[in-house]
Structure 1
């Protein structure tokens, strides 16, 4: 069995613990981290905009003006992804591989799941009550479009059943 575990900052320990509990020990476990292009793209665009306003690099030799800040943000996100993958591998405590992808997060997760038998991910929305809002947009997309079974976990104990909305009123005929 090949298990893809989508790791997101703040919720990844619950996903790793779920694999330890529910995936057979002989499973091939792949720890997945996806970096979205949003933040570096914004920095690249802002830097290009500054250059387009008559601020060429050669006129600003001061520290920081000689390089695109988007490149630095890309490097930093790669470092944090590697640290998160390392911490998850240590917590898992059994052989696994690591996969880093960059792109639209929800689509990269679905694409990675194509090669799996199971996708594990955590709820990332409103976790104060049971219901569909406990999934953020990327997790909702992954759950709705995953080509394989999904194990959806709560990053902390699930809310009490009293948080369920009331049932709809009976239909009148």
Structure 2
């Protein structure tokens, strides 16, 4: 069995636990993938104007390095929590595209809900997660990172017309 886990801040522990439960005692090939979007210090974000001309490049490089280190730490912790060998991938680009492509040879893609955790419904998925769920080429296991909201959190049906 091949399992790909999308490692994201706030959701990865529940996703790793779900992968361990899914695999049980069966051997599984696991890929942990974390995708970094464009740097917060990209020139078109306006970040540079907050820093000033002389230190813009240095500050951008420092932010990028901190982001990379945080992602590497998250992947290392996910691998340790998994408790078995796993392929670890740190990518940069469009997360929804990279994760969808990474799931191309997987039997399961495990990812966490990253939107509104206070109610059931489509708002519990962020835009990248929605894209991946809609386009994944394999089975998708969608995880609540904590306790799922009660069924009573579903909005009422629309009024009769």
- TM-score, normalization: structure 1? 0.81
Runs of 5+ consecutive residues of structure 2 not aligned to the other structure? none
- How far residue 2 of structure 1 moved from its aligned partner, in angstroms, is 1.2
**Which shifted more, 7-16 or 110-119?**
110-119
Contact map agreement 1:109 1:142 (CA 8 A) in 2: yes
Counterpart of 1:15 in structure 2 is 15
Runs of 5+ consecutive residues of structure 1 not aligned to the other structure? 58-64
How many matched pairs?
160
Between Structure 1 and Structure 2, whose CA radius of gyration is higher?
Answer: 1
Counterpart of 1:70 in structure 2 is 60
- How far residue 105 of structure 1 moved from its aligned partner, in angstroms, is 1.4
What is the CA–CA distance in structure 1 between the aligned matches of 2:147 and 2:65, rounded to whole Å? 35
Contact map agreement 1:44 1:68 (CA 8 A) in 2: no
4+ long deviations beyond 6 Å = none
What is the CA–CA distance in structure 1 between the aligned matches of 2:56 and 2:159, rounded to whole Å? 65
Q: Please, what is the CA RMSD of the aligned residues? A: 2.5
- How far residue 97 of structure 1 moved from its aligned partner, in angstroms, is 1.6
What is the CA–CA distance in structure 1 between the aligned matches of 2:125 and 2:45, rounded to whole Å? 30
Contact map agreement 1:34 1:101 (CA 8 A) in 2: yes
What is the CA–CA distance in structure 1 between the aligned matches of 2:95 and 2:60, rounded to whole Å? 18
- How far residue 167 of structure 1 moved from its aligned partner, in angstroms, is 3.4
- How far residue 47 of structure 1 moved from its aligned partner, in angstroms, is 4.6
- How far residue 149 of structure 1 moved from its aligned partner, in angstroms, is 1.3
